[in-house]
Amino acid sequence: MSTRPRQLALALDHAESYAREDFLSGPCNAGPLQLIDAWPQWPANALALVGPEGSGKTHLAMIWARVAGARVIAARALQEAELPAALATGALVVEDAATGVDERVLFHLINLAREEQAFLLFTARTAPATWNVAIPDLASRLRALPVVTLLAPDDAMLRAVIVKLALDRQLMLDETVVSYLLTRIERSFAAARAAVIALDNEALRRGRPVTRALAAEIFHADIPAS
């Protein structure tokens, strides 16, 4: 007896748009967005953009990088010999600055940027003052960095984020699906991203559209009779 072959969901990359017009602004990110837009009138030549996973740090950093002509590099990829080249445009984004960075390289980078009057934008999940560093002078410089913080989203922002993440994956979500997700997921950008990815992957695997019924199956909840 033949059985219908099971459809496999392909692990395709879905690029998110980091364009200025695609940034979703609201009370949770108004301060950071205002400061990014205020460049080069910053309170210092370097600042830290802090927030939880998926809160929009990279999107804001990419907006600034485009305007400032900044290069973008992961903190763990920083090499001391390459610092002058990294600062060649006069502006640099250092992503995930709290993890995997060599303290000596970070210290040298901050000093070199100050000497050359270059701008630095660090992204991290925690404030620089809390980073575990052993070099006293580096700790002092990190404590002095101005910090702008992205806050947890409210309902309106979380709803908009779910819709945007879905559109980035060419996925059209019915309003009932979005409302259902809002009652089932953790109140965070990371949870919204995980939920949209799970819905998209399962819909592809089953070869069916995303519906509230599918969402309920994925999140193990019963649908009340209508």
DSSP 114-177: HHTT-EEEEEESS-GGGS----HHHHHHHHHS-EEEPPPP-HHHHHHHHHHHHHHTT----HHH
Q: Which pLDDT score, from 0 to 100, does residue 224 have?
A: 47
Q: Is the pLDDT of residue 1 over 50?
A: no
Query: Which is it for strands 119-124 and 46-50: parallel, antiparallel or unpaired?
Result: parallel
Q: What are phi and psi of 175, to 5 degrees?
A: -60, -35
Helix (H, G, I), strand (E, B) or coil at 54: coil
180: Cβ contacts below 8 Å, ≥ 6 apart: 212, 215, 216
Q: Which pLDDT score, from 0 to 100, does residue 10 have?
A: 35
Q: Could you tell me which of 95, 104, 106 has the C-alpha nearest to residue 142?
A: 106
Q: What is the DSSP letter of 5?
A: P
164 within 8 A of 26, measured Cβ to Cβ = no
Q: Could you tell me which of 171, 53, 150 has the C-alpha nearest to residue 181?
A: 171
Whether the bond between 5 and the residue before it is cis, its omega within 30 degrees of 0, is no
Find the mean pLDDT for residues 45-71: 93
- Fold held by 24-149: Rossmann fold (3.40.50)
Confidence of residue 26 (pLDDT cuts 50, 70, 90): confident
Q: Is the pLDDT of residue 214 over 70?
A: yes
| Mean pLDDT lowest among 9-13, 135-139, 172-176, 200-204 | 9-13
- Fold held by 155-218: Helicase, Ruva Protein; domain 3 (1.10.8)
Q: For residue range 112-123, what is the model confidence (pLDDT) as tens digits?
A: 999 999 999 999
The Cα–Cα gap between 97 and 56 comes to 15
Confidence of residue 90 (pLDDT cuts 50, 70, 90): very high
The Cα–Cα gap between 161 and 55 comes to 10
Confidence of residue 8 (pLDDT cuts 50, 70, 90): very low
* Helix boundaries (H) for the chain: 30-38, 57-68, 83-86, 103-115, 136-144, 155-168, 175-182, 189-206, 212-218
The 10 Å Cβ neighbour count of residue 204 is 17
Q: Which pLDDT score, from 0 to 100, does residue 14 have?
A: 53
The 10 Å Cβ neighbour count of residue 44 is 11
This prediction's pTM: 0.76
The Cα–Cα gap between 64 and 123 comes to 12
The Cα–Cα gap between 97 and 93 comes to 10
Q: What residue segments make up the domains of the chain, in order of their start? A: 24-149, 155-218
Q: Which pLDDT score, from 0 to 100, does residue 162 have?
A: 93
Find the mean pLDDT for residues 171-182: 92
